[in-house]
Structure 1
């Protein structure tokens, strides 16, 4: 009886293990790793990126957002500016300062506008990056693992691939997509190489041409990278993938691709960060497609995403 019980128990373990293995891929950086491709940040790579600063210029890669900025539903933002304890002309007299001041209250989803997607954002089969189980990390008070607050400053070489220019258009339209073949061709034509630890940004012209003129259309669809492209960039060990669109993948999705499945490939399977709604146009307008990228996001414990404003230095 003991032998049969042990055999049954072993079989159950084997079955559970095979199911677990099918649903997740352990990180190449080891058990317990929560940083993913941020492990590629290094003094050597930072110094190489700094060497790209030729003109001494900087450019924000984040867009300005407000309560009217369209976002993936039901996300929204609400800002209030207040003058606490100053009603009726009262003056503040705390700490010996008899003056007046403004404060602000912000109620917002942090996945709005320019943002970084952390490794706990999209998963599959109940698992997230490095086999983190949703039942163990997804607390309503904040992620217990993979929180964006863990991410060190992302510093490295960034490149922009102008996919609109490659297609001979001012901007790509909703549902247009590009994959490995188009990425390779655009990189060659534009003199861009993609290396390990790079931040790769795609310019489609979508935000520049539709956000202000037709915000409803902007958030209802988008061009972007298809599954083939996501797998190709993952094979190159890049640090992050971003675009001047709100979700980086095409909406509607490319034929045969799952909706937003590139998120799963990049975040869950490879620990590669996603940067959305990047303001790539002004950098390209300066004749630059290779630069030093610097990001230090707000460190609110347990967040899944965060509003960001990375800086391009060149």
Structure 2
């Protein structure tokens, strides 16, 4: 969906709130700065039963992986196995032990992953006003590495939009906004609080594993959150540190109101420093929350520390 107006992202967001300089001119953590020790303990206090859920989407599956069309799925190669010893390619260890080994190749954002704050920009400036030139050859500023070193621990809140709309998964092109999020929370009986980590379930990524890939990808447009001035101001006022979704893009692929792509990445990540986590699986968590009525929990994640990378794989953990 092309941009069918003369409006630019810079013009649309000219009066939007920013957190640039809020934590100093050298900051690379953004809104994760809100997740201090007291927020980690608030997350711990929201765990009651000890039930554990991991949210990573599997990689290297026989069906392939649900990644954007500009990427390919993970490739795993076996380098050592039982046949290596039968053929004599490997020597048996002293004492008789043998081993298996393998090699793995994938895009840094080819599975459940965190974005670095410099991942998306406009007007030749990334988060905190750093020049876009700092992305040349790798992100020397606001890469995902500081996110991995910082870690993310706090109180998570699941907003189950698929269940709220009585669907297994939302449709391609299907949107929701701030009012929908707040009504979903109200129906679930949960109060969103300042500094909460927001998890939104659409059912989209899990649906890949029981759908025809051709139908899943064509035409390609995910469901998702759509931009509004009120939504951005709410994220700013609530000091939301982290948005987590079960889609590849964290937002509707193309904004239906202007044709922009990655508009919320610009308004939330680039301007407010909200860290984004994409491509996770939430169906098991959603089912359990619907059963016991508990939609808040301890959320913890730490992407792999890859220096200068724009994104990095992660397996988030939820403890209820």
Q: Secondary structure at the match of 1:89?
A: coil
TM-score (norm 1): 0.85
Shift of 1:70: 2.9
Residue in 1 that maps onto 2:39: 45
Taking structure 1 as reference, are residues 195 and 90 closer, same or farther at Cα in structure 2, changes over 3 Å only? Answer: same
Long gaps (5+) in structure 1: 1-20
Which protein has the larger Cα radius of gyration, Structure 1 or Structure 2? 1
CA distance in 1 between partners of 2:216 and 2:155 (Å):
29
1:250 to 227, 249, 252: 252
Root mean square deviation of aligned Cα: 2.5
Q: Deviations over 1:198-246 (max 9, x none)?
A: 1101111222334431334434221100112355323321111121111
Residue in 2 that maps onto 1:73: 69
The 8 Å contact of residues 294 and 311 in structure 1, kept in 2 or not, is answered as yes
Taking structure 1 as reference, are residues 97 and 33 closer, same or farther at Cα in structure 2, changes over 3 Å only? Answer: farther
Q: Secondary structure at the match of 1:112?
A: coil
Shift of 1:165: 2.6
CA distance in 1 between partners of 2:131 and 2:15 (Å):
13
Taking structure 1 as reference, are residues 97 and 32 closer, same or farther at Cα in structure 2, changes over 3 Å only? Answer: farther
Which fold has the larger relative contact order, with Cα–Cα distance below 8 Å and residues 6 or more apart in sequence?
A: 2
Q: Secondary structure at the match of 2:153?
A: strand
CA distance in 2 between partners of 1:27 and 1:108 (Å):
35
Shift of 1:93: 6.5
CA distance in 2 between partners of 1:36 and 1:160 (Å):
22
Q: Deviations over 1:73-114 (max 9, x none)?
A: 3212211110298683254467x5653222222221111121
TM-score (norm 2): 0.83
Is 1:148 paired with 2:144? yes
Q: 59-68 vs 164-173, which deviates more?
A: 164-173
Shift of 1:160: 0.8
CA distance in 2 between partners of 1:265 and 1:231 (Å):
10
Residue in 1 that maps onto 2:123: 125
Taking structure 1 as reference, are residues 144 and 190 closer, same or farther at Cα in structure 2, changes over 3 Å only? Answer: same
